[in-house]
């Protein structure tokens, strides 16, 4: 019997939906989720011992590839000292110093245990700092599953056709204002009406949770200007883009600096870590210095911080991000060329080591354009590639990721599989 099916059937009896995060259930693409048991470099092996080239990379953290020997070594060494102290460690300080040095806008930073915790805390600090309640987000952007942010959200919420969540009180959601991404005029109109009531604007500076959406430069620059003029805190959610699209994140790439930044994924090297940081005057609102409370028993966990520090050390090597972007570009260029040769309506693009696949004539720039893409064709393509051992994200609404472990051979094997898949569509 297929062990994946067996495990999924058993899981559904005691885990809601059989999974611990919704997109893993294959609900959008259909079929049985893959249960993995090991990984190395660019490759995964499932419970049936089938091998796959991985383009999810744990949704971004595995920028070096799976089970990088130097990361594994440091994790083993630190784990021997203790798995947790619940008290300060020198590594936390070194991690904070590294983040402040690498991310252009961050003056002070606090470590937490997840991206959701980082964004939730950043918004609380922004509200405390401004003494305002209203927050602004953008359609299809996902910032974790805090109540106030599950309004027209991306990622799993979008995959399952529920951009908002049950269980979120109206009184919590009423202060969340939602705008279309890349719509500069809508941004201006909102600030003209309510600018002085807005505590903060939170945005994915490159969207990865409704597939890959690239911001227009004017849009980001206008957002920065409006927040400055009206005294609103601009938060870049770089949980996904931080250290992946460039060493200094999307803010370095587009040369637009936020007031606060949230981080995760890469800074944990595959273990649970998040962080939020920004201007010193804003971060000083946090307890024990200020009136905004935030705490976490496992914040700055020594094993997770060690994995993240080693990852950050290795990605600072010369030309690391240039080579990562080049390999990712070869993938998206090759896929687009194959589709074009076969007359298929398809395109792909990348920003650094992130990429998007779209069954549409042009790459989308907004939530509405993403929703207009041919999701049925994506679902068929996904399964045709999966059968050939190519593991893309199981949703038309998720970005993909290439790691430094991916080789020319991996890319060519993927393109060969795509040739077969496009012909079969």
**Catalytic residue (choose from 237, 310, 358, 410):** 237
Euclidean distance between CA atoms 145 and 396, whole angstroms: 20
Contact between 207 and 141 under an 8 Å Cβ cutoff? The reply is yes
**Catalytic residue (choose from 142, 181, 358, 391):** 142
Q: How many residues does the chain have?
A: 425
Local structure of residue 362 (DSSP, 8 states): S
User: Is 175 assigned a catalytic role?
Assistant: no
The closest alpha carbon to 109, from 264, 250, 255, belongs to 264
Euclidean distance between CA atoms 420 and 414, whole angstroms: 10
Helix locations, 342-374, DSSP H:
367-371
| Side-by-side strand order, sheet with 390-391 | 36-40, 43-46, 51-54, 390-391
Euclidean distance between CA atoms 237 and 263, whole angstroms: 7
**Catalytic residue (choose from 137, 152, 265, 310):** 265
| Two tokens, residue 310 | 């080693």
Euclidean distance between CA atoms 211 and 192, whole angstroms: 30
Pairing of strands 108-112, 274-278: antiparallel
Contact between 365 and 322 under an 8 Å Cβ cutoff? The reply is no
User: Is 49 assigned a catalytic role?
Assistant: no
Which residues are catalytically annotated?
Answer: 142, 237, 265
């Amino acid at each position: 019997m297929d062990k994946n099916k067996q495990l999924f059937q058993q899981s559904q009896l005691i885990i809601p939906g059989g999974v611990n995060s919704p997109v893993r259930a294959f609900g959008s693409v259909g079929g049985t989720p893959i249960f993995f048991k090991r990984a190395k470099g660019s490759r995964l092996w499932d419970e049936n011992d089938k091998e796959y080239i991985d383009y999810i990379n744990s949704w971004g953290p595995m920028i070096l590839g799976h089970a990088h020997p130097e990361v594994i070594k440091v994790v083993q060494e630190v784990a021997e000292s203790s798995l947790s102290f619940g008290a300060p460690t020198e590594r936390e300080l070194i991690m904070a110093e590294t983040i402040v040095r690498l991310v252009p806008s961050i003056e002070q930073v606090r470590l937490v245990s997840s991206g959701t915790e980082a964004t939730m805390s950043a918004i609380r600090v922004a509200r405390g700092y401004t003494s305002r309640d209203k927050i602004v987000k953008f359609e299809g952007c996902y910032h974790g599953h805090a109540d106030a942010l599950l309004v027209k959200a991306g990622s799993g919420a979008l995959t399952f056709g529920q951009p908002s969540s049950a269980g979120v009180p109206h009184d919590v959601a009423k202060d969340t204002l939602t705008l279309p991404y890349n719509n500069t005029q809508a941004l201006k109109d909102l600030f003209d009406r309510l600018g002085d009531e807005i505590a903060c604007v939170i945005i994915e500076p490159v969207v990865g949770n409704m597939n890959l959406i690239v911001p227009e430069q004017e849009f980001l620059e206008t957002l920065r200007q409006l927040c400055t003029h009206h005294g609103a805190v601009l938060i870049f959610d770089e949980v996904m883009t931080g250290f992946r699209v460039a060493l200094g994140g999307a803010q370095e790439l587009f040369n637009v600096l936020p007031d606060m930044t949230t981080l995760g994924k890469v800074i944990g090297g595959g273990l649970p870590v998040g962080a939020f940081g920004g201007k010193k005057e804003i971060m000083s609102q946090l307890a024990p210095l200020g009136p905004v409370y935030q705490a976490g028993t496992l914040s700055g966990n020594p094993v997770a911080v060690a994995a993240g520090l080693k990852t950050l050390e290795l990605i600072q090597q010369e030309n690391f991000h240039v080579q990562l972007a080049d390999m990712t570009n070869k993938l998206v260029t090759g896929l687009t060329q194959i589709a074009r040769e076969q007359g298929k309506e398809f395109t792909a693009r990348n920003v650094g080591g992130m990429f998007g696949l779209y069954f549409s004539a042009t790459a989308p720039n907004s939530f509405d354009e993403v929703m207009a893409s041919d999701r049925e064709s994506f679902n068929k393509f996904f399964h045709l590639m999966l059968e050939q051992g190519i593991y893309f994200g199981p949703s038309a609404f998720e970005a993909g990721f290439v790691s430094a472990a991916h080789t020319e051979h991996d890319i060519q094997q993927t393109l060969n599989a795509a040739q077969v898949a496009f012909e079969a569509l």
